[in-house]
Amino acid sequence: MEEQRLFIELSIIVISTLILSGIMRILKQPIMIGYIIVGILLSPQVFGIMESHHSIATFSQIGITILLFMVGLHLNPKNVKETGKVSIVTGITQVCTTTLLGYLAGLLMGLGHVVSIYIAIGLSFSSTIVIMKLLSDKKDLHSLYGRISTGILIVQDLIAMIVLMVISAISKEGDINTLILSTVLKSVGIISVLYFFSKYALPKLLKKVASSQEVLLLFSIGWCMALASVFYFLDFSIEIGALLAGITLSMSPYRYEISSKMRPLRDFFVMLFFVLMGAEMDFSSINQFIFPIIAFSLLVLIGNPLIIMSTMGLMGYTKKNSFKTALTCAQISEFSLIMLALAIKVGQVPANISSMLTMIGILTIIGSTYFIIYDEKIFNALNKFLDVFERKGHKVDQHIKHSGEKHDIVVLGFSKLGSEIVKGLSEKKKKFLVVDFDPRNIRNLTRQSIDCRYGDIGNAELFDELNFEKTKMIISTIKDFDTNLLLIHKIRKINQNAIIIVVSHQIDEALRLYQEGVNYVIMPNYIGGNHTSGIIAEYGYDIDKFLQEKNIHVNQLLIKKQINFGKN
């Protein structure tokens, strides 16, 4: 009977999360918010459907173990080298400053020393799941700010790992100095063993098991569970064992395959973790903590970005990279909730604090999601107020690599499409300049002796420096529709005769761009960079010929739109 009850409850949970997940997608929110809402709705305080708390808690523990294992898979410490000093300095500064401010705020609100420090630490970590998902959706993971954000996440997660180990240590009875020494010695010992095992024995073992997809999956689960169990018997937490199990495989060439195989397992069991978290929320305690919830949420949504922008600005980064990096870290992490759950389990923090931090998590994840999705619009609106976060003079992430001579064509963005256009322009011996937001692209172009410079369209100073008044053609390969609209309006104010070519992936957006004064719209689904280069070579700077091509293209788009409408 109990097994049947559990089956029915799981069925209701899965169906409910399916419906809420669809709603979250429409609202462009992380699915985990939907999971928590399902838990609230099914809890005894609302519909009272969830009764098998113990069994679901066991499933949720498995979910957290797999989640931390997969976080560890992406925590290859070598990745920090890609963004070097800025990730380490910014990550550590942000964690320390947020922890200090959160602790002081907690004391001022009368939460006590122990509760204040736990909440403060929880506020300092950002969500790896939320950030990586949103950056991946925006295709910004490999942008400069995306790589810096990833580096900061790695630093935060390594600090979180240490925090979990400390919580496990202080939960035990005995002399604190003896416990600290014992914990340090055991930590050094087991990490040393794992290091040598993962460097010399694990690669050979993986090579053998990887010949079978099923065996590789079973080995990965077994390795995760085994190491988590070992850490439990060594008086550490299961969570830290799972995290280290993932880290030991993070340098393996099979890590991506392991991650893809285990993702469905993770998603199902993690769903149950967040559902259970929502079900265990105590709304009476939330009413008690309304002011702290608002204050701490504002600290995360506003304070964390200000700390990151200030740090990166002092290190010489441009305000746009600092701003976009900062917005990614304006939410609390799943690590924060796991850490607090562990602290409650070992008796360090009262249970009602979990509801408060969960509510902070919901508010900050919702807010930061919109920050990340609309970062370009927010930056353009606040641009003139952000100069305080940018040092004068040369920037670390800013490069100018051209002779200073005038260019007939300016290419904005060096994406795959941009590289095709640049190749075509080079073959036609055109005088052009490439402007890009990624220093890596600038270095690559410099090695090819192509005139280029670092630039940000959102920066009004760029238009003065590039002297668009004399430019005959501007080609934007930037995918963002709003950015291209801004570009068109600015250029048309200073140069009515320039030929403007932009990119669009949507028919409606392409038609709107034509209405705003664009001479030609590249649609990568239909027209590639090579074709565009051919048109430029054939028409030169004859604006009348581009007008003819524009009229033909508009008619084609209208026909395609009608066909698509008929299909729908």
Burial level of 520, CB count in 10 A (0-12/13-18/19+)? buried
Distance CA 416, CA 421 (A): 9
In sequence order, the 6+-apart residues with CB closer than 8 A to the CB of 561 are 507, 508, 511
What pLDDT is stored for residue 296 in this prediction? Answer: 95
Query: Which residue, 107, 321, 342, is CA-closest to 242?
Result: 342
Distance CA 131, CA 325 (A): 10
Against a cut of 0.75, is the pTM above it? no
Q: How many CA atoms lie within 13 A of 239 on its CB side?
A: 26
Distance CA 468, CA 488 (A): 12
What stretch of H or E contains 308?
helix 304-314
Report DSSP state, residue 454. Answer: E
What stretch of H or E contains 186?
helix 176-196
Q: Are 109 and 291 in contact (CB under 8 A)?
A: yes
Residues constituting the chain: 568
What pLDDT is stored for residue 168 in this prediction? Answer: 66
Around Cβ 65, how many Cβ atoms within 10 Å? 24
Around Cβ 179, how many Cβ atoms within 10 Å? 16
Distance CA 320, CA 518 (A): 26
Distance CA 215, CA 219 (A): 6
With the C-alpha atoms ordered 288, 290, 293, 295, is the resulting torsion angle positive or negative? Answer: negative
Distance CA 526, CA 71 (A): 39
User: Rounded to the nearest 10 degrees, how much is the dihedral formed by the CA atoms of 75, 77, 83, 88?
Assistant: 100
What stretch of H or E contains 376?
helix 375-382
Distance CA 343, CA 481 (A): 46
**Diameter of the chain measured on Cα atoms:** 86
**What value does the CA radius of gyration of the chain take, rounded to a whole number of Å?**
27
What pLDDT is stored for residue 548 in this prediction? Answer: 84
Query: Which residue, 42, 36, 35, is CA-closest to 21?
Result: 35
Domains and CATH numbers, the chain: 20-50+58-389 (1.20.1530.20), 405-567 (3.40.50.720)
Distance CA 263, CA 132 (A): 14
Distance CA 357, CA 296 (A): 9
With the C-alpha atoms ordered 333, 334, 335, 336, is the resulting torsion angle positive or negative? Answer: positive
Residue-by-residue pLDDT tens, the chain, 568 positions: 677 888 898 899 999 999 998 898 888 777 777 888 898 899 888 888 887 777 888 887 888 788 778 877 876 666 555 566 888 899 999 999 999 999 999 999 988 888 999 999 999 999 877 787 677 667 777 677 888 887 888 788 778 877 877 776 665 555 556 656 666 777 778 878 888 888 888 888 888 887 787 888 899 999 999 998 888 887 677 877 887 888 888 878 788 788 878 888 887 887 887 888 788 777 777 778 899 999 999 999 999 999 999 999 998 888 888 999 999 999 998 778 878 887 887 788 888 888 888 889 888 988 888 898 888 889 888 988 888 888 776 666 655 555 556 788 888 888 777 788 888 888 878 888 888 877 777 777 877 878 888 776 666 566 666 777 878 899 988 888 888 888 888 888 888 888 999 888 788 888 888 888 888 888 876 665 566 777 787 888 888 888 888 888 888 777 777 766 555 5
451-454: which pairs have CB atoms within 8 A and are 24 or more residues apart? 451/401, 451/402, 451/403, 451/405, 451/407, 452/399, 452/401, 452/402, 452/414, 453/399, 453/400, 453/401, 453/402, 454/395, 454/397, 454/398, 454/399, 454/400
What pLDDT is stored for residue 425 in this prediction? Answer: 84
* Structure tokens, 266: 């993770």
Q: Are 485 and 515 in contact (CB under 8 A)?
A: no
Partners of 435 in beta bridges: 412, 453
Distances (CA, A) of 190 to 72, 204, 233: 16, 20, 12
